[in-house]
Homo-oligomer: A and B are copies of this chain.
Amino acid sequence: MTERPAKSIRRSGAGRSGADRAGASAKKPPRAGHRSAAPARRRRPDERPTQILDAALDVFGEKGLAAARLDDIAKRAGLAKGTIYLYFQNKDELFRAVIRSTLVAELETAETLVAIGTPEERFDTFIRGWWAVICSPTFERVHRLVTSELPKFPDLARFYGTEVIARNLRLVSGIVRDGIAAGVYRSTDPTATARMITGIFVIHGLWRSKRGFLSHLGIPSDDAMFEQLSDFLHAALRPDRARAHHPPALSASRSQT
Protein backbone atom coordinates (compact mmCIF):
# COMPACT_ATOMS: atom_id res chain seq x y z
CA MET A 1 0.00 0.00 0.00
CA THR A 2 2.41 2.69 1.14
CA GLU A 3 5.30 3.44 -1.12
CA ARG A 4 8.24 1.21 -0.36
CA PRO A 5 11.53 3.05 0.22
CA ALA A 6 14.81 2.43 -1.58
CA LYS A 7 16.01 -1.07 -1.01
CA SER A 8 19.22 -2.84 -0.22
CA ILE A 9 19.70 -6.58 -0.08
CA ARG A 10 17.39 -9.34 1.13
CA ARG A 11 14.89 -10.38 -1.45
CA SER A 12 16.34 -7.43 -2.89
CA GLY A 13 15.91 -5.08 -0.07
CA ALA A 14 15.43 -4.53 3.59
CA GLY A 15 15.51 -0.78 3.80
CA ARG A 16 18.07 0.73 6.06
CA SER A 17 15.66 -0.01 8.85
CA GLY A 18 16.85 1.81 11.89
CA ALA A 19 18.82 4.37 9.93
CA ASP A 20 16.59 7.13 11.13
CA ARG A 21 15.61 5.98 14.50
CA ALA A 22 18.24 8.19 16.12
CA GLY A 23 16.68 8.69 19.52
CA ALA A 24 16.31 5.05 20.41
CA SER A 25 18.87 5.39 23.15
CA ALA A 26 16.71 5.29 26.24
CA LYS A 27 14.37 2.59 24.99
CA LYS A 28 15.93 -0.53 26.36
CA PRO A 29 17.57 -1.16 29.69
CA PRO A 30 21.29 -1.85 29.45
CA ARG A 31 21.55 -5.63 29.29
CA ALA A 32 23.79 -6.94 31.98
CA GLY A 33 26.81 -9.13 31.36
CA HIS A 34 26.16 -9.62 27.68
CA ARG A 35 29.30 -11.65 27.15
CA SER A 36 29.43 -14.84 29.12
CA ALA A 37 32.78 -16.55 28.49
CA ALA A 38 34.47 -15.36 25.33
CA PRO A 39 37.96 -16.74 24.78
CA ALA A 40 39.94 -13.58 25.49
CA ARG A 41 39.31 -11.56 22.37
CA ARG A 42 42.36 -10.23 20.56
CA ARG A 43 42.41 -6.95 18.69
CA ARG A 44 43.91 -7.22 15.24
CA PRO A 45 42.43 -4.40 13.22
CA ASP A 46 44.72 -4.95 10.25
CA GLU A 47 43.90 -8.64 9.91
CA ARG A 48 40.16 -8.09 9.98
CA PRO A 49 39.49 -7.15 6.36
CA THR A 50 41.08 -10.26 4.85
CA GLN A 51 39.60 -12.40 7.59
CA ILE A 52 36.15 -11.12 6.80
CA LEU A 53 36.67 -11.33 3.06
CA ASP A 54 37.77 -14.95 3.29
CA ALA A 55 34.79 -15.92 5.38
CA ALA A 56 32.49 -13.96 3.10
CA LEU A 57 33.79 -15.68 -0.02
CA ASP A 58 33.12 -19.03 1.61
CA VAL A 59 29.60 -18.20 2.67
CA PHE A 60 28.64 -16.30 -0.48
CA GLY A 61 30.08 -19.12 -2.52
CA GLU A 62 28.03 -21.68 -0.68
CA LYS A 63 24.73 -19.86 -0.51
CA GLY A 64 24.77 -17.02 -2.96
CA LEU A 65 24.41 -13.37 -2.08
CA ALA A 66 20.85 -13.24 -0.84
CA ALA A 67 20.92 -16.42 1.19
CA ALA A 68 24.19 -15.64 2.93
CA ARG A 69 23.63 -14.25 6.39
CA LEU A 70 26.00 -11.74 7.86
CA ASP A 71 25.77 -13.61 11.13
CA ASP A 72 27.16 -16.68 9.40
CA ILE A 73 29.98 -14.73 7.83
CA ALA A 74 30.80 -13.17 11.17
CA LYS A 75 30.72 -16.50 12.92
CA ARG A 76 32.97 -18.09 10.31
CA ALA A 77 35.40 -15.23 10.73
CA GLY A 78 35.22 -15.68 14.48
CA LEU A 79 33.76 -12.23 14.97
CA ALA A 80 30.51 -10.56 15.83
CA LYS A 81 28.26 -9.16 13.14
CA GLY A 82 28.81 -5.60 14.25
CA THR A 83 32.51 -5.91 13.53
CA ILE A 84 31.82 -6.38 9.85
CA TYR A 85 30.21 -2.98 9.83
CA LEU A 86 33.40 -1.43 11.14
CA TYR A 87 35.16 -2.48 7.94
CA PHE A 88 32.45 -2.59 5.30
CA GLN A 89 29.60 -0.23 4.74
CA ASN A 90 26.95 -2.85 4.14
CA LYS A 91 26.32 -6.25 2.64
CA ASP A 92 26.43 -4.97 -0.93
CA GLU A 93 29.80 -3.35 -0.42
CA LEU A 94 31.13 -6.45 1.25
CA PHE A 95 30.06 -8.48 -1.73
CA ARG A 96 31.75 -6.07 -4.11
CA ALA A 97 34.90 -6.21 -2.04
CA VAL A 98 34.90 -9.99 -2.07
CA ILE A 99 34.63 -10.17 -5.83
CA ARG A 100 37.22 -7.47 -6.38
CA SER A 101 39.76 -8.93 -4.02
CA THR A 102 39.41 -12.38 -5.54
CA LEU A 103 39.74 -11.13 -9.06
CA VAL A 104 42.79 -9.12 -8.17
CA ALA A 105 44.38 -12.32 -6.92
CA GLU A 106 43.43 -14.06 -10.13
CA LEU A 107 44.79 -11.27 -12.22
CA GLU A 108 48.07 -11.50 -10.44
CA THR A 109 48.24 -15.15 -11.26
CA ALA A 110 47.41 -14.37 -14.84
CA GLU A 111 50.05 -11.70 -14.82
CA THR A 112 52.78 -14.31 -14.52
CA LEU A 113 51.78 -15.56 -17.92
CA VAL A 114 53.01 -12.68 -19.98
CA ALA A 115 55.64 -14.89 -21.48
CA ILE A 116 58.19 -14.18 -24.11
CA GLY A 117 59.15 -16.58 -26.87
CA THR A 118 57.66 -17.76 -30.11
CA PRO A 119 53.91 -17.38 -30.50
CA GLU A 120 53.52 -21.10 -30.00
CA GLU A 121 55.50 -21.11 -26.79
CA ARG A 122 53.57 -18.14 -25.51
CA PHE A 123 50.30 -19.77 -26.44
CA ASP A 124 51.29 -22.92 -24.67
CA THR A 125 52.42 -21.14 -21.53
CA PHE A 126 49.29 -19.10 -21.60
CA ILE A 127 46.79 -21.92 -21.83
CA ARG A 128 48.65 -23.91 -19.24
CA GLY A 129 48.67 -21.03 -16.81
CA TRP A 130 45.11 -20.10 -17.38
CA TRP A 131 43.97 -23.64 -16.98
CA ALA A 132 45.57 -23.55 -13.56
CA VAL A 133 43.62 -20.41 -12.68
CA ILE A 134 40.42 -21.98 -13.91
CA CYS A 135 41.00 -25.12 -11.90
CA SER A 136 41.52 -23.10 -8.74
CA PRO A 137 38.76 -23.55 -6.19
CA THR A 138 37.71 -19.91 -6.31
CA PHE A 139 37.15 -19.59 -10.02
CA GLU A 140 33.88 -21.43 -10.23
CA ARG A 141 32.48 -19.81 -7.11
CA VAL A 142 33.34 -16.31 -8.16
CA HIS A 143 32.18 -16.81 -11.68
CA ARG A 144 28.87 -18.18 -10.50
CA LEU A 145 28.42 -15.34 -8.06
CA VAL A 146 29.19 -12.72 -10.64
CA THR A 147 26.93 -14.38 -13.17
CA SER A 148 23.99 -14.78 -10.90
CA GLU A 149 24.18 -11.36 -9.29
CA LEU A 150 24.91 -9.68 -12.56
CA PRO A 151 21.61 -7.84 -12.85
CA LYS A 152 22.06 -6.34 -9.42
CA PHE A 153 25.69 -5.30 -9.81
CA PRO A 154 26.21 -4.07 -13.34
CA ASP A 155 29.38 -2.31 -12.26
CA LEU A 156 30.90 -5.53 -11.01
CA ALA A 157 29.90 -7.31 -14.17
CA ARG A 158 31.58 -4.58 -16.18
CA PHE A 159 34.67 -4.84 -14.04
CA TYR A 160 34.78 -8.59 -14.50
CA GLY A 161 34.16 -8.32 -18.21
CA THR A 162 36.86 -5.72 -18.69
CA GLU A 163 39.49 -6.92 -16.28
CA VAL A 164 39.18 -10.65 -16.66
CA ILE A 165 37.44 -11.67 -19.83
CA ALA A 166 38.40 -8.82 -22.12
CA ARG A 167 41.93 -8.79 -20.80
CA ASN A 168 42.28 -12.40 -21.74
CA LEU A 169 40.72 -11.78 -25.10
CA ARG A 170 43.32 -9.11 -25.79
CA LEU A 171 46.18 -11.27 -24.67
CA VAL A 172 45.08 -14.26 -26.69
CA SER A 173 44.24 -12.34 -29.81
CA GLY A 174 47.73 -10.81 -29.68
CA ILE A 175 49.32 -14.21 -29.57
CA VAL A 176 47.11 -15.52 -32.34
CA ARG A 177 47.85 -12.49 -34.49
CA ASP A 178 51.58 -13.05 -34.08
CA GLY A 179 51.15 -16.73 -34.84
CA ILE A 180 49.29 -15.94 -38.03
CA ALA A 181 51.94 -13.45 -39.05
CA ALA A 182 54.60 -16.06 -38.42
CA GLY A 183 52.62 -18.53 -40.49
CA VAL A 184 52.29 -21.13 -37.76
CA TYR A 185 48.55 -20.58 -37.37
CA ARG A 186 45.96 -20.53 -40.07
CA SER A 187 44.63 -17.18 -41.11
CA THR A 188 41.58 -16.18 -39.06
CA ASP A 189 40.06 -13.20 -37.35
CA PRO A 190 42.24 -13.07 -34.21
CA THR A 191 39.56 -11.41 -32.11
CA ALA A 192 36.94 -14.01 -32.91
CA THR A 193 39.43 -16.79 -32.43
CA ALA A 194 40.36 -15.36 -29.04
CA ARG A 195 36.70 -15.49 -28.09
CA MET A 196 36.59 -19.16 -29.00
CA ILE A 197 39.68 -19.99 -27.04
CA THR A 198 38.76 -17.97 -23.98
CA GLY A 199 35.23 -19.26 -24.02
CA ILE A 200 36.18 -22.86 -24.25
CA PHE A 201 38.39 -22.47 -21.22
CA VAL A 202 35.77 -20.71 -19.17
CA ILE A 203 33.04 -23.21 -19.92
CA HIS A 204 35.21 -26.14 -19.02
CA GLY A 205 36.10 -24.38 -15.83
CA LEU A 206 32.41 -24.19 -15.01
CA TRP A 207 31.75 -27.76 -16.04
CA ARG A 208 34.57 -29.06 -13.91
CA SER A 209 32.58 -28.52 -10.76
CA LYS A 210 31.96 -31.53 -8.60
CA ARG A 211 28.51 -30.15 -7.90
CA GLY A 212 27.74 -28.94 -11.39
CA PHE A 213 25.33 -30.05 -14.08
CA LEU A 214 27.56 -32.79 -15.26
CA SER A 215 28.79 -34.13 -11.98
CA HIS A 216 26.74 -37.30 -12.34
CA LEU A 217 28.27 -38.02 -15.72
CA GLY A 218 31.90 -38.88 -15.58
CA ILE A 219 34.09 -35.89 -14.92
CA PRO A 220 37.41 -36.27 -16.68
CA SER A 221 40.50 -35.42 -14.71
CA ASP A 222 41.83 -31.91 -15.06
CA ASP A 223 44.95 -33.19 -16.78
CA ALA A 224 43.05 -35.29 -19.29
CA MET A 225 40.69 -32.42 -19.99
CA PHE A 226 43.58 -30.07 -20.54
CA GLU A 227 45.15 -32.52 -22.93
CA GLN A 228 41.96 -32.65 -24.96
CA LEU A 229 41.51 -28.91 -24.83
CA SER A 230 45.02 -28.30 -25.97
CA ASP A 231 44.70 -30.80 -28.80
CA PHE A 232 41.43 -29.30 -29.96
CA LEU A 233 42.75 -25.77 -29.98
CA HIS A 234 45.95 -26.67 -31.77
CA ALA A 235 43.92 -28.47 -34.41
CA ALA A 236 41.68 -25.47 -34.84
CA LEU A 237 44.66 -23.17 -35.24
CA ARG A 238 46.98 -25.21 -37.45
CA PRO A 239 47.35 -23.91 -40.98
CA ASP A 240 45.13 -25.18 -43.75
CA ARG A 241 47.82 -27.20 -45.47
CA ALA A 242 50.49 -29.22 -43.73
CA ARG A 243 53.37 -27.48 -45.46
CA ALA A 244 53.38 -23.95 -44.08
CA HIS A 245 56.06 -21.29 -44.04
CA HIS A 246 57.58 -22.98 -41.04
CA PRO A 247 57.23 -26.59 -40.11
CA PRO A 248 54.36 -26.92 -37.69
CA ALA A 249 55.98 -27.60 -34.36
CA LEU A 250 52.59 -27.97 -32.76
CA SER A 251 52.69 -31.68 -32.28
CA ALA A 252 55.80 -31.33 -30.14
CA SER A 253 54.34 -28.86 -27.71
CA ARG A 254 51.07 -30.69 -27.78
CA SER A 255 52.38 -34.00 -26.60
CA GLN A 256 54.77 -32.73 -24.04
CA THR A 257 52.50 -32.85 -21.00
Contact = CB atoms under 8 A, between A and B. Distances in A.
Interface of A: 10-12, 62-64, 66-69, 144, 146-152, 154, 157-158, 160-162, 165-166, 169, 186, 188-189, 192-193, 195-196, 199-200, 202-204, 206-207, 211-217, 220, 225, 228-229, 231-233, 235-237, 240-242
Contact of A11 (B66, B148, B195): B66
B161 A229 contact: no
Contacts of A204: 195, 199
A11 B158 contact: no
Given A212-B157, A220-B192, A236 B241 contact: no
A151 B62 contact: yes
B161 A217 contact: yes
A67 B67 CA distance: 10
Given A158-B213, A200-B203, 18 more contacts: A11-B66, A11-B67, A64-B148, A66-B66, A148-B149, A150-B212, A157-B212, A158-B216, A161-B212, A161-B214, A161-B217, A165-B214, A188-B235, A196-B200, A196-B232, A199-B207, A235-B237, A241-B242
Contacts of A200: 196, 199-200, 203
A9 to B, nearest CB: 9
A148 B140 CA distance: 11
A250 to B, nearest CB: 11
Nearest to A189: B228
26 contacts: A10-B67, A11-B69, A12-B67, A64-B151, A64-B152, A144-B148, A150-B213, A157-B212, A160-B213, A161-B213, A161-B215, A162-B216, A169-B217, A188-B232, A192-B225, A192-B232, A193-B232, A195-B228, A199-B200, A200-B200, A200-B203, A202-B203, A232-B236, A240-B242, A241-B242, A242-B242
